[in-house]
Amino acid sequence: MKQVKIPEATIGRLSFYSRFLTKLENDGIETVSSGEIAKGIAGNSAQVRKDFAYFGGFGKRGVGYNVADLNRNIKEILGLNREWKAVIVGMGNLGRALAYYHGFAARGFRIIGLFDNNPSKKGEKINNLEIQDASELENFLEKNPVDIAILTLPGETVQFVVDRVVKKGVKGILNFAPVVVFTEKDVQVRNVDLSVNLEILSYNLNSK
């Protein structure tokens, strides 16, 4: 199954589906149709079925999907059947917003370290984590293996930090600076550019 190239938009929607399914699970709902899933995420049911088809359709049998099974399957595909440890480097407004965001833990992403190179921020607590000096990064990563580094840094410092964390075994980079990052082949980089979302929106508004 993993050989099939899944469109990134489908992966993104799986993430939305899963959050909706988690809500249903918490509400004690046992079965759900593609139409209800579509409605729940303001999508359309043909799209839902098409997305599911990439993964063999998740074995629907006419009466709707079993909510818990479907959610477990989707989470497994997304790699959410395990915990991912992450650090945030750069405690400006965006770094803080991410450090305070409770949604990550609910999805299995555990933030275990916060770093900044501004000494005045050192020791400040956010969600029970103390901000550490950026010079401690290597030391910390040696003692605490981390999967993902979330970088909320000025563009000119990103590559330097990427090189440092990759050297310490970090395999995933979530980069919020609008710069291109170069890494080893076995490191996954995801660039989040806050403008891109506005530009997709302006495209949609413009092409109506």
Enumerate binding residues for its own copies (CB under 8 A): 2, 7-9, 11-12, 14-16, 18-20, 40-42, 77-80, 84, 86, 92-94, 96-98, 100-101, 103-104, 107-109, 147-148, 150, 171-172, 174, 178, 180-182, 186, 188-208
Residue 107 near residue 80, CB atoms below 8 Å: yes
Closer of 132 and 175 to its own copies (Cβ): 175
Minimum distance between the CB of residue 18 and its own copies, rounded to whole angstroms?
8
User: Which value, in Å, is the radius of gyration of the alpha carbons in the chain?
Assistant: 19
Biggest alpha carbon–alpha carbon distance for the chain: 60
Residue 128, Cβ density class (10 Å: 0-12 exposed, 13-18 middle, ≥19 buried): exposed
Residue 13 near residue 47, CB atoms below 8 Å: yes
Q: Hey, is 131 helix, strand or coil?
A: strand
The token duo for 2 is 């993993």
Minimum distance between the CB of residue 44 and its own copies, rounded to whole angstroms?
13
Closer of 67 and 181 to its own copies (Cβ): 181
Minimum distance between the CB of residue 106 and its own copies, rounded to whole angstroms?
8
Closer of 106 and 139 to its own copies (Cβ): 106
Minimum distance between the CB of residue 180 and its own copies, rounded to whole angstroms?
5
Closer of 31 and 183 to its own copies (Cβ): 183
Which value, to the nearest 10 degrees, does the dihedral of the CA atoms of residues 200, 202, 204, 207 take?
Answer: -130
Minimum distance between the CB of residue 147 and its own copies, rounded to whole angstroms?
7
Closer of 119 and 201 to its own copies (Cβ): 201
Residue 162 near residue 168, CB atoms below 8 Å: no
Residues written for the chain: 208
The one-letter amino acid code at 204 reads: N
